[in-house]
Amino acid sequence: MAKTKTRGEGSTAIRAYFSKNPKATAQEVVDALKAEGVTVTASLVYSVKALGKKKKKKAGKSNAAARMEKAAAWADGVTGSTKADLIRETAKSMPKPVRPKDVIAALREKGVTASSTQVSTVLKSMGMKRRRKAAVGGAAPAVASNGLNIDDLVAAKKLVSQVGSVEKVREALAALARLG
C-alpha cells in the first residue's frame, strides 16, 4: 500500500539521499527513492539540488562582512575605513582648489589607488567641485581690428549689392565727405 506523502517529504528524502550520494544523477535519485516508496520527479530533484548549492554558498560570510574585510585588507593600517573616507581626509588636508589629480597623487603616496571618477564623485558630494556659472545674455558681437562689428559688415555688403560695386560705394562715400 502506498504511503501518504506529507508536504516536504520528497525534498527531505532527496536531501538525505544527496548527503549520502553527492554525485548521484537525478534519475538515480528518482529510482532509489521509488524503491523506498517515495515518489519524486526529476524536476524536483534538480530544484532541490540547485537550492542546496545556493545554501552552501550563503553558508559563508555575509556580503557586508566580506566587504568590510576587503576594505580593512586594502586599507592596511591607513586611517579611514573606506576609500571614500580616505579621499575626504586627503582633500580636506590639501590647499584649495583641490584637483582630482592632486588627490590621486597624494593617495598613491599612501599606497591607495583611486580612479579620477571616484575622486571627482567624492569631491562633488563634499561641495568642493567648482560649478561653472551660466553665461548671462548672448555672446558679445565680434569686432574687427578696424572697429567694425558683424552688423556693420552686413550693412556694408547690403549697400554694395544695392549700388552695384565697391568702387561705386567708395565714390559715393567720397562725394558724401565733400558735402560734409
Question: Per residue in 57-100, pLDDT tens?
Answer: 555 556 666 666 666 655 555 554 688 888 888 888 888 888 88
Residue 59 pLDDT: 53
Length of the chain: 180
Q: Are 40 and 30 in contact (CB under 8 A)?
A: yes
Residue 1 pLDDT: 47
Residue 30: pLDDT band with limits 50, 70, 90:
very high
Q: Are 28 and 21 in contact (CB under 8 A)?
A: yes
Residue 84 pLDDT: 87
Percentage helix, strand, coil for the chain under 3-state DSSP, each rounded to 5: 65, 0, 35
From CA 119, how far away is CA 112, in angstroms rounded? 12
Report CA 153 to chain centroid distance, whole Å.
50
Q: Which residue has the higher pLDDT, 172 or 136?
A: 172
SS3 139: coil
Over residues 162-167, mean pLDDT? 90
Report percent pLDDT > 90 for the chain: 7
Reference 126, options 158, 152, 150, 93; nearest CA is 93
**Lowest-pLDDT range of 13-22, 121-130, 160-169:** 121-130
Cα dist. 2→6, 21, 44 in Å? 12, 25, 20
In tens, the pLDDT along 3-29 reads: 556 677 888 888 888 888 888 888 999
Residue in the block written with cell 527531505: 12
Element holding 140 (H helix, E strand): none
Report percent pLDDT > 70 for the chain: 72
pLDDT for residue 2 is more than 60: no
Residue 105 pLDDT: 92
> Residue 16 is placed in which grid cell?
538525505
From CA 41, how far away is CA 39, in angstroms rounded? 7
